[in-house]
Amino acid sequence: MKNILFDFISKYVSLTEDEKNALLSLDLFHSVKKGTLLLKEGQNTKESYFVLKGCIRTYYLIDGEEKTTAFYTEMDVLTPQCVINKAPSEYFISCVEDSILSISNADMEIEINSKFPKFDIMCRKLSEQLLAKQQLDFDEFKTSSPEQRYLNLLQKRPDLVQRVPQHQLASFLGIKPQSLSRLRARISEKKN
């Protein structure tokens, strides 16, 4: 798992052996079971997540119904909004699959960034990329029909169709599970 993390970091900055050892000393790697709630609405946390293996999701509970907003799979990073604004979380984070996560916290990051300033540079670059990607994803979602959203998902993240329960996938697309079933049938008929 450490090689996966180091390969990811090397896309942004090169690490010396001392820097690698400093990261390894932090006990970053955690195996988490499917169904585990990493964060509940109303909780505070300082933890950020990097998915080495598996899938986690963010969702809101609105009138008793789960509204999925995102899935994070291998090589995805999630820093919950509540870490940044130091307020209780407005949403939940749970494991869709058994996962291996690198979990860091704000205190750890401050310590590492002070010892090794290049991590601060890496975090800034990564944050800029994530912000740009989220803006594009949001714009695409707002300007697409449910069918276009599903076709985009098939094109960009086809693994989710096999990995994620249909009701969570439907919620992510902004439709009901029954509508997703009809949509899939309609698309299948068009292909034949």
At residue 23, the pLDDT reads: 79
The answer to whether 52 and 87 have CB atoms below 8 angstroms apart is no
Examine residue 37 and state whether it is found in any structural domain, yes or no. Answer: yes
Residue 190 within a domain: no
How high is the pLDDT of residue 87?
Answer: 94
Q: Say how far apart CA 75 and CA 5 lie, in whole Å.
A: 8
Residue 120 and residue 115: Cα distance in Å, rounded? 10
Expressed as residue numbers, the domain containing 56 is: 2-116
Q: Is residue 107 one of the residues assigned to a domain?
A: yes
Q: Residue 4's pLDDT is what? A: 81
Query: Quick one: pLDDT at residue 113?
Result: 80
Question: Has residue 96 been placed in a domain?
Answer: yes
Number of domains in the chain: 1
Instruction: Provide the pLDDT for residue 117.
Output: 81
Per-residue pLDDT of the chain (192 residues; tens, 9 = 90+): 777 888 888 888 888 888 888 878 887 789 999 999 999 999 999 999 999 999 999 999 999 999 999 999 998 999 999 998 999 999 999 999 999 998 988 888 888 888 778 888 887 888 888 889 889 989 999 999 999 999 999 999 999 999 999 999 999 999 999 999 999 999 888 877
Could you tell me the CATH number of the domain that includes residue 74? 2.60.120.10
Whether residue 67 is contained in a domain is answered as yes
Q: Does 76 map to a domain?
A: yes
pTM: 0.86
Distance of CA 81 to the CA centre of its chain: 12
DSSP secondary structure, 1-23, as one string: -HHHHHHHHHTT----HHHHHHH
Count Cβ neighbours within 10 Å for each residue of 59-80 and write b for 16 or more, e otherwise: beeeeeeeebeebbbeeebbbb
pLDDT score recorded for residue 192: 72
